[in-house]
C-alpha cells in the first residue's frame, strides 16, 4: 500500500482569524453555518439533553457586577489544530490532519466511539444521536454539496470544505492559484461586522496571515499545545472615562 505523503510541502494552509473587537454577537454566522452545512435542528427535548449540534456557537462571558459589567462574545468552532487531541484517540483513523492544515472528519469511517469529542478541549465535536430529520418540504433547502450525517457518527466544522474545494477547482480551471478572498466559509461571508477572516496563512500577503501575525493574535488553550488554525484577535478596551 502506498503511503500518503502528508508532510509534503503544500501551497495552502487554511486559517481563520476572529476579531473579538469587532464581534457583536449577532448570531448570523451560527445560522449561516446551519444553512450551509445541513445541520439538523433537534428541538426542545434533545436540547435539554445538551445534544444540539451547532458547529459554530457563540460563547458569552460576563464579568463584574452592576453597573461595571463586561460582556464578551467568543465565536467557537473547530479550531483545526495542527496537533489535534482528537486525532490521536480515534481508533479507526476517521479523523486526521490533511496536508492543507485541516482537521478532517471522515463520516463513513467513523464508528462513533466519541473518544474524539471527549478529548477535544474546545468541545466542538458533535455526535449524531439520531438520523437527521429533514422531512417533506424542508428537504428542498439541503445543500447538495454537503452529505447528511447519519446516526452514530461524529461531525464538526469543516471550514466549509465544499467551498474550499470549489474555490480551488475554479482557480484550477482558470489556471491560477487561489486568490485571497476567493474562498469564504459561510460564517465568514455573512459576518456583518467583518469579524471573521479566512484565507491561506502560507501566503504572507493574505489578510488572514497579516492579522495572525499582527501581535493581537492569540490561540485559545495555548498551554495545551494544540496549535489551532483559528487565531483570536484580542479585543482592546479604550479608556473612555
Nearer to other proteins, 101 or 201 (CB): 101
- Closest approach of other proteins to the CB of residue 28, in Å: 5
The answer to whether 231 and 219 have CB atoms below 8 angstroms apart is yes
- Closest approach of other proteins to the CB of residue 211, in Å: 9
- Closest approach of other proteins to the CB of residue 153, in Å: 6
- Closest approach of other proteins to the CB of residue 227, in Å: 16
Q: How far is residue 11 from each of residues 7, 123, 199, 232, measured CA to CA in Å?
A: 12, 30, 12, 23
- Closest approach of other proteins to the CB of residue 24, in Å: 4
Q: How far apart are CA 159 and CA 147, in angstroms?
A: 15
Task: Return phi, psi of residue 111, to 5°.
Answer: -110, 0
Q: How far apart are CA 123 and CA 222, in angstroms?
A: 15
Give the position of cell 501566503.
203
Q: Residue 27 has which C-alpha cell?
A: 448570531
Enumerate residues 6+ apart whose C-beta is below 8 A from 85.
Answer: 119, 120, 121, 224, 226
Nearer to other proteins, 108 or 205 (CB): 108
Amino acid at each position: 500500500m502506498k503511503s500518503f505523503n502528508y508532510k509534503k510541502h503544500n501551497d495552502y494552509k487554511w486559517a481563520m482569524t476572529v476579531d473579538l473587537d469587532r464581534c457583536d454577537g449577532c448570531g448570523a454566522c451560527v445560522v449561516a453555518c446551519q444553512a450551509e452545512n445541513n445541520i439538523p435542528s433537534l428541538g426542545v427535548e434533545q436540547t435539554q439533553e445538551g445534544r444540539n449540534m451547532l458547529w459554530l456557537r457563540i460563547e458569552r462571558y460576563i464579568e463584574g457586577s452592576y453597573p461595571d459589567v463586561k460582556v464578551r462574545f467568543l465565536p467557537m468552532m473547530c479550531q483545526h489544530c495542527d496537533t489535534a487531541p482528537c486525532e490521536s484517540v480515534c481508533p479507526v483513523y476517521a479523523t486526521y490532519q490533511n496536508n492543507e492544515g485541516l482537521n478532517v472528519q471522515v463520516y463513513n469511517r467513523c464508528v462513533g466511539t466519541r473518544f474524539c469529542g471527549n478529548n477535544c478541549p474546545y468541545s466542538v465535536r458533535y455526535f449524531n444521536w439520531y438520523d437527521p430529520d429533514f422531512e417533506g418540504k424542508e428537504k428542498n433547502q439541503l445543500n447538495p454539496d454537503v452529505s447528511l450525517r447519519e446516526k452514530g457518527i461524529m461531525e464538526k466544522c469543516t471550514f466549509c470544505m465544499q467551498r474550499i474545494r470549489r474555490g480551488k477547482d475554479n482557480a484550477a480551471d482558470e489556471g491560477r492559484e487561489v486568490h485571497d478572498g476567493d474562498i469564504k466559509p459561510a460564517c465568514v461571508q455573512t459576518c456583518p461586522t467583518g469579524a471573521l477572516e479566512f484565507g491561506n496563512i502560507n501566503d504572507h500577503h493574505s489578510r488572514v496571515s497579516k492579522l495572525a501575525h499582527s501581535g493581537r493574535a492569540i490561540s485559545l488553550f495555548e498551554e495545551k499545545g494544540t496549535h489551532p488554525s483559528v487565531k483570536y484577535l484580542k479585543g482592546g478596551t479604550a479608556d473612555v472615562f
